[in-house]
Amino acid sequence: MATGQLFSKTTQALFYNYKQLPIQRMLDFDFLCGRETPSVAGIINPGSEGFQKLFFGQEEIAIPVHSTIEASCAAHPTADVFINFASFRSAAASSMAALKQPTIRVVAIIAEGVPESDTKQLIAYAKANNKVVIGPATVGGIQAGAFKIGDTAGTIDNIIQCKLYRPGSVGFVSKSGGMSNELYNTIARVTDGIYEGIAIGGDVFPGSTLSDHVLRFNNIPQVKMMVVLGELGGRDEYSLVEALKQGKINKPVVAWVSGTCATLFKSEVQFGHAGAKSGGEMESAQAKNQALREAGAVVPTSYEALEGAIKETFEKLVEAGKVSPVKEVTPPQIPEDLNTAIKSGKVRAPTHIISTISDDRGEEPTYAGVPMSSIVEQGLGVGDVISLLWFKRSLPHYCTRFIEICIMLCADHGPCVSGAHNTIVTARAGKDLVSSLVSGLLTIGPRFGGAIDDAARYFKDAYDKGLSPYEFVESMKKKGIRVPGIGHRIKRGDNRDKRVELLQRFARSNFPSVKYMEYAVEVETYTLSKANNLVLNVDGAIGSLFLDLLAGSGMFTKQEIDEIIAIGYLNGLFVLARSIGLIGHTFDQKRLKQPLYRHPWEDVLYTK
């Protein structure tokens, strides 16, 4: 066991099992104390490496993350404190691994419930190698104005109130982490504050004892008196009694053992800690308090009188000239986190993203305000989900059914079209699903599947202006623009596209109005008089019918309809639908284990 001071203003730690809040509290304490370097040198997160962003005062810093204890110790040889936030299942193994590292001097084990047999092995190894174990079941410890472990002393407000940002003259040790916070406050009220505080943990076998730390405090010149808070159960306090009797401690010790109320219960009571259970008269709080009193410690008559005893002891030291007045300093202001400040109404900050279609902040996500569970419970389909997420409203059933029909009819058009071809070539090159899908999607444009919006735009403009099919087609010809939605490489006037016929049949049976579709058919009649392949294709059918859907449903204003077409909603239908087919082609090629594609020479015209 170490015989002097454990920590200093340059102490650095390795933090095992990343926890954002306790690390940030350590860094905030560093800033409060005026440290030049962060007290957390590295983080150990098994299985991951990289960096974690945290704040050191106003500055954002990146703390290295290592996957193993060995790698972390090698990377940060000056970090000699290991703060273990592992669960009780792995705390012992990771703590032993840390103790075996030559650079580690102190190990703090936060977890409760570490098997006693494992703890005994850790204690034996630490003693044999002159290392210190704090815990298990500890909140840690603190050196005022220099270094603290994890959540020790709680919030920054509590730390400031307890004057822990600068050193005092009192060494404090307790079994309880929660009571440590209470005593830090008490000590700050009636003395110049603590110099060092340790919570050894409430397990039956703590890694270090009350007397271990009191004896350390006795060797630290800056510590002028000690305060000890024990509890019923175990015999740890008796080692302190022996040290007092043997004259190993020459500084005043104020002590109290909690749990005197246990005698009021008829049967034995297990208090909060695993070790807080009296195993006989010797382990009772009354017996321990009496033994400490007889050994020379200042022991009050009750916990309520403890503050007065601390005050009186400190004042005697001041009168004797053994305590020099501590120069008070004003700690720096810790910058408040933005989220905290926003919640408290102190600041306002602009958001970076606007979303109106979904919300995942409640108990379940909502689509345009409709809970996801409600969508499923009502038996709604993909068309309804598109209705909510794309159009931000629940469209009538015939509308959502039309959307679903469009998706089904446009899902695939064979392996020879450009999109499918690109996807197949990419999949055969050994690329992953996303790469193969995107390769095919990137071909979608004015010449392949991307004419739906243009078809809707031109048909709507011509119809709304009252242009005859002749005037419309001839005006487009004069501009050098092919009529979007008209023309097909394979289909002819006497061999119509079955998909177009299905869509028209559905619309005539279900839509309130099909004026735009009928206009497109009239345009087709005129274009067929010029060439037999200038038929209304699926892009033109979907584009014109979507105009009828938007206008006939009565749920969209003219401005909204124009915006939907301008943004590219209708092409979105083709992208969504064709993704199904492109994914299918990717899987098909993978399943067939097709080799790398190379285009045949005979299919290329080589010319000068």
In angstroms, what CA-CA distances link 593 with 415, 435, 489?
A: 16, 17, 31
Q: CB neighbours (10 Å) of residue 529?
A: 13
The sign of the dihedral angle between the CA atoms of 351, 356, 357, 361 is positive
Answer for the pair 99, 124: CB distance below 8 angstroms, yes or no. Answer: no
Q: Which residues contact 281 (CB under 8 A, 6 or more apart)?
A: 287
**3-state secondary structure string, 349-392?**
CCCCCCCCCEECCCCCCEECCEEHHHHHHCCCCHHHHHHHHHHC
User: Which among 76, 273, 488, 585 is annotated as catalytic?
Assistant: 273
Distance from chain centroid for Cα 175 = 33
φ and ψ at 306, to 5 degrees? -65, -40
103: exposed, middle or buried (Cβ count in 10 Å: 0-12, 13-18, 19+): middle
The tokens for 562 are 């124009």
Q: Are 251 and 169 in contact (CB under 8 A)?
A: no
Taking the C-alpha atoms of residue 496 and residue 389, their distance in angstroms, rounded to an integer, is 34
Q: Measured on CA atoms in the order 409, 412, 416, 417, is the torsion positive or negative?
A: positive
Annotated active-site residue 421? The verdict is no
543 to 481, 537, 539: CA distances (angstroms):
17, 10, 6
Alpha carbons 381 and 193: distance in angstroms, whole number: 67
Q: Which residues are catalytic?
A: 273
